[in-house]
Structure 1
């Protein structure tokens, strides 16, 4: 795949269903040669996750940790078809970046039009840098509309390794290929996410690599190869 510089969709024990400490995550990322590690914890609505005060105290954590640059964020839940989000407004200023996605603990799948509107309204939110794992066929999307919205509003669409290896999702591989083909057609940049819930899964893209090769997806459209390019998407309109 070439030299990956960043993985910014990872979770620590603070998310409640992950198993590694922040120190373990950083040491693993350093050992694998990353230049930037992002750690996000789930927002309220996911069972077992941390309270808002966890994010409000991010300021005590240095952004160079054991010699590695880190950023600390939040994975926000899309709640309804109008793109309402779980995050309270006061948390935006406490985190370095925000990802958002559909999680069935917090969202009832609707029609393809309703789901697509939910995602596009989230893409329009100036605080949201990444739409995570938009690939589950149980929540169908109009990928052409989503990709064009991502291009217009300068938002990254994620290809999520954890989602691709999950047996609980419908047609994830086929949906990812459709989305990537449209990103290739419209020259829309994407981000790869390991969605690591334990430290040794950091930078694990084993279910993504074959797809990228199969469709000959352009390396220049993947921001994981360039930290500076990724940082352009953080708080893109604020």
Structure 2
């Protein structure tokens, strides 16, 4: 399986990542990645960029070193209602909105509360994709998440970093195996993400691919095989968003 897209990467702007967007793009180019997401953490993550970082992402060229770049965010779920830490006006124009749970940004709760938070975030019309549900920080109903992914056509990530670099990777692997089996059961859409925090991890999917093959996830479920497929999916998401333009301040720089 040829994977040409890595939508989940971080730069030094995230505060706990260690490479620039230029270094990440060069690494992507060497690995044959054609479409790269630049998804630094949302503002509730300590050390994350100020909102002006997201305001100014339009200065980044659409393409660098033959790699198309999608400036976006890994937004954080902040409560049991699935609210995100990015103001709505930013969600309306960022090119890629990944959403996930992080212990330092989300208070935690019961399995039911955590599952509700994750699913409510999936139901947000501005959410494009959900990331690392297999991490063991929060207990969740993984079958319900896979079923909701299929119902809403929201891709859920198989996160390579969860399987290779986090301290609790053995428990994460068990969780990832479980949700992968449910994604096969419900034919849910899937993305593979490196979650790279250093340039040498960009486009690294080997552990995620092993799990995909083990679980029997089919190639047609995986968006990463085609940049056009990803871009078509994102365009469809934007066409189906509610029209709230009248509710937003006409000037982006008015950051409250």
TM-score (normalised: structure 2): 0.88
Name the residue aligned to 1:66.
Answer: 65
TM-score (normalised: structure 1): 0.94
Matches within 5 A, 1:86-165: 86-165=85-164
**Which consecutive aligned stretches of 4+ in structure 1 deviate over 4 angstroms post-superposition?**
none
1:197–1:137: structure 2 CA closer, same or farther, 3 Å change rule? Answer: closer
| C-alpha RMSD of matched pairs (Å) | 1.5
How many pairs align? 237
Name the residue aligned to 1:197.
Answer: 197
**Matched residues in 2 for 1:205 and 1:58: separation?**
26
Deviation of the 1:32 alpha carbon: 1.1
Secondary structure of 1:99's counterpart equals strand
1:127–1:216: structure 2 CA closer, same or farther, 3 Å change rule? Answer: same
Decide which structure has greater helix share.
2
Unaligned runs of 5+ in 2: 242-256
Instruction: Deviation per CA, 1:80-114: give whole Å up to 9, x if none.
Output: 11111111112113410101110011112211111
Instruction: Deviation per CA, 1:28-47: give whole Å up to 9, x if none.
Output: 11111111111111111111
Query: Does the 8 Å CA contact 1:113/1:142 hold for their aligned counterparts?
Result: yes
Query: Does the 8 Å CA contact 2:14/2:49 hold for their aligned counterparts?
Result: yes
Name the residue aligned to 1:14.
Answer: 13
1:112–1:232: structure 2 CA closer, same or farther, 3 Å change rule? Answer: farther
Greater Cα shift, 45-54 or 135-144: 135-144
Query: Does the 8 Å CA contact 2:34/2:66 hold for their aligned counterparts?
Result: no
Instruction: Deviation per CA, 1:128-157: give whole Å up to 9, x if none.
Output: 111110112331111221112112222110
Unaligned runs of 5+ in 1: none
